Amino acid sequence: MATVPLKDELDIVIPTIRNLDFLEMWRPFFEQYHLIIVQDGDPSKTIKVPDGFDYELYNRNDINKILGPRASCISFKDSACRCFGYMVSKKKYIFTIDDDCFVAKDPSGKDINALEQHIKNLLCPSTPYFFNTLYDPFRDGADFVRGYPFSLREGVSTAVSHGLWLNIPDYDAPTQLVKPLERNTRYVDTVLTIPKGTLFPMCGMNLAFDRDLIGPAMYFGLMGDGQPIGRYDDMWAGWCCKVICDHLGLGIKTGLPYIYHSKASNPFVNLKKEYNGIFWQEEIIPFFQQMNLSKESTTVQKCYVEMAKQVNEKLGKIDPYFVKLADAMVTWIEAWDELNPPTKDSAKATNAASK
Ligand X SMILES: O=c1ccn([C@@H]2O[C@H](COP(=O)(O)OP(=O)(O)O[C@H]3O[C@@H](CO)[C@H](O)[C@H]3O)[C@@H](O)[C@H]2O)c(=O)[nH]1
40 binds ligand X (CB under 6 A): yes
Among residues 9, 100, 106, 116, the one that binds Mn ion under rule CB under 5 A: 100
Smallest distance from the beta carbon of 163 to ligand X, in angstroms?
12
Query: Cβ closer to ligand X: 20 or 303?
Result: 20
Interface positions, 230-289, toward Mn ion (CB under 5 A): 263
172 binds ligand X (CB under 6 A): no
Other Cβ atoms less than 10 A from the Cβ of 29: the count is 17
Cβ neighbours of residue 244 under 8 Å, at least 6 residues apart? 214, 217, 250, 293, 300, 303, 304, 307
Smallest distance from the beta carbon of 217 to ligand X, in angstroms?
18
Smallest distance from the beta carbon of 34 to ligand X, in angstroms?
18
167 binds Mn ion (CB under 5 A): no
Q: 73, 331 in Cβ contact below 8 A?
A: yes
Q: 158, 126 in Cβ contact below 8 A?
A: yes
81 binds ligand X (CB under 6 A): yes
Among residues 5, 18, 184, 228, the one that binds ligand X under rule CB under 6 A: 18
183 binds ligand X (CB under 6 A): no
Interface positions, 96-135, toward ligand X (CB under 6 A): 98-100
Q: What is the 3-state secondary structure (H, E, C) of 130-170?
A: CCCCCCCCCCCCCCCCCCCCHHHCCCECEEEEEEEEEECCC
Query: Cβ closer to ligand X: 205 or 217?
Result: 205
Please state, in angstroms and rounded to a whole number, the distance separating the CA atoms of residues 101 and 30. 13
176 binds ligand X (CB under 6 A): no
The residues of the shown chain that bind ligand X, judged by CB under 6 A, are 15-18, 40, 77-79, 81, 98-100, 170, 203-205, 224, 231, 233-234, 263, 265
